[in-house]
């Protein structure tokens, strides 16, 4: 039954401590609830939102706010550490498209985009014009579709090209299979009286080598998917995020992450329920079972883990199975979530 209201859910860290606290404000147009279950050891309990199968709107309904880290001074009082939160906005986080379920796209600040599945459906034209750099995990359509519509929207309004970054094999795939004047006009080349430079510029990253992009240091690391695919390790001011888009079981990214104990947040996919393990294996995606195995490889104090890329038709089933994974700080992302990192 649809329900309208506002729910404030507090996680344990909301009480000021030396660690992170989490304040979740859910502006609910339709039903969403939050469930907590016990976790062993010292790890904090995990909460996952139950899903509503038929969310009718893709409008932003949820804001998730991470309070700034607090430090205790010698007098025992708490004060905020000086840091500027980095805003991570979920434009789309679904592994399939249905009304109310947007394809993968995430905005960091105003100008750095990760993947472009649903960007132009979720952002105003003014917001689209602020994008300066786009990180592409791989060239599957659910991650790049809006590169075409974004370029089309920006033509004639773009003074400098928007940089599209990935490793060479992904960039080559974009040039050959997308911006080839067949599937879509080659916006990496087209100019005219109203657009002096091309709208898009394809830029290559070397896997495992950090690159300064805007205010961030970005490292691409190869993961195991059916086409060349990378995860992005993003260091911003005093926060570090690892974004693992589509992947099956993989290795390099975990050995890289283990060398960075400051890793604060991990975004990672879980596409299928356990009963479809064979489909997940052949398409190189994760189920809750194989997600748990990947998180074991991380083998470090658990960062906050945000789950993405659930197939809409299996979302409730996957969430039920994720509930059974204990010992990690899991949260399933929804379109419109805003994380203050």
Q: Which is nearer to Zn ion, 142 or 337 (CB)?
A: 142
| Residue 140 CB, nearest approach to Zn ion (Å) | 4
Q: What residues contact 278, with CB distance under 8 A and at least 6 apart?
A: none
- What would the DSSP string read from start to end of 100-125? TBPBSEEEETTTEEE--SSHHHHS-H
Site size for Zn ion, by CB under 5 A?
Answer: 3
> How buried is residue 73: exposed, middle or buried, by Cβ count under 10 Å (0-12/13-18/19+)?
exposed
For 227, phi then psi, to 5°, come to -130, 165
Site string for Zn ion, 197-236 (x = CB under 5 A): ----------------------------------------
| Ordered alpha helix ranges (H), the chain | 119-122, 125-128, 141-154, 168-177, 252-258, 277-282, 288-298, 315-323
**Contact window for Zn ion (CB under 5 A) among 8-16, 58-66, 123-131, 245-253:** 245-253
Of 129-188, binders to Zn ion (CB under 5 A) are 140, 142
Binding mask 65-104 for Zn ion (x = CB under 5 A): ----------------------------------------
CA dihedral 97, 98, 99, 101 (to 10 degrees): -50
Whole-number minimum distance, CB 139 to Zn ion, in Å?
9
331 binds Zn ion (CB under 5 A): no
**Residue 337 contacts Zn ion per CB under 5 A:** no
Structural tokens at position 142: 């659910």
Supply the minimum distance, in Å, between the C-beta of residue 18 and Zn ion.
38
Taking the complex as a whole, how short is the minimal distance between the CB of residue 146 and Zn ion, in angstroms?
Answer: 13
Nearest approach, Cβ of residue 171 and Zn ion (Å): 16
9 strand-pairing partners? 24
The one segment of 21-29, 44-52, 55-63, 244-252 that binds Zn ion by CB under 5 A: 244-252
Least distance between Zn ion and beta carbon 258 (Å):
25
CB count within 10 Å of CB 86 equals: 23
Using CB under 5 A as the binding rule, the residues of this chain from 308 to 327 that contact Zn ion are: none
Among 246, 317, 321, 337, interactor with Zn ion by CB under 5 A: 246
- DSSP string computed for 278-312: HHHHHTT---HHHHHHHHHHH-SS--EEEEE-B-G
In the numeric block, which tokens belong to residue 197?
């430079």
Closest approach of Zn ion to the CB of residue 259, in Å? 26
Rule CB under 5 A: which residues touch Zn ion?
Answer: 140, 142, 246
């Amino acid at each position: 039954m649809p329900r309208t209201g506002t729910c404030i859910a507090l996680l344990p860290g909301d009480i000021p401590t030396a660690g992170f606290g989490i304040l979740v404000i859910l502006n609910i147009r339709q039903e969403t609830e939050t469930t907590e279950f016990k976790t062993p050891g010292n790890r904090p309990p995990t909460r996952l939102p139950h899903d509503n199968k038929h969310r009718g709107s893709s409008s932003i309904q949820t804001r998730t706010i991470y309070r700034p880290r607090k430090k205790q001074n010698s007098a025992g009082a708490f004060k905020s550490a000086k840091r500027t939160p980095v805003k991570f906005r979920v434009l789309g986080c679904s592994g399939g498209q249905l009304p109310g379920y947007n394809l993968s796209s995430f905005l960091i600040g105003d100008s750095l985009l990760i993947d472009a599945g649903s960007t132009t459906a979720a952002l105003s034209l003014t917001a689209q014009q602020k994008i300066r750099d786009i990180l592409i995990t791989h060239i599957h359509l659910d991650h790049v579709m809006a590169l075409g519509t974004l370029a089309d929207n920006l033509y004639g309004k773009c003074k400098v090209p928007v940089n599209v970054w990935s490793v060479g094999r992904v960039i080559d795939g974009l040039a050959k299979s997308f911006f080839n004047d067949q599937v879509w006009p080659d916006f990496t080349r087209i100019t005219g009286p109203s657009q002096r430079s091309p709208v898009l510029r394809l830029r290559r990253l070397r896997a495992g080598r950090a690159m300064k992009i805007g205010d961030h240091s970005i490292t691409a690391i190869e993961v195991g998917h059916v086409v060349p695919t990378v995860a992005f390790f993003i260091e911003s001011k005093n926060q570090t995020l690892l974004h693992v888009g589509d992947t099956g079981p993989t290795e390099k990214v975990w050995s890289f992450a283990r060398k960075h104990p400051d890793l604060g947040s991990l975004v990672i996919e879980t596409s299928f329920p356990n009963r479809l393990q064979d489909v997940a294996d052949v398409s190189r995606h994760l189920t809750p079972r194989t997600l748990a195995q990947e998180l074991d490889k991380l083998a470090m104090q658990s960062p906050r883990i945000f789950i993405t890329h659930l197939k809409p038709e299996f979302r409730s089933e996957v969430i039920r199975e994720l509930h059974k994974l204990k010992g990690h700080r899991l949260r399933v992302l929804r379109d419109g979530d805003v994380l203050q990192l």
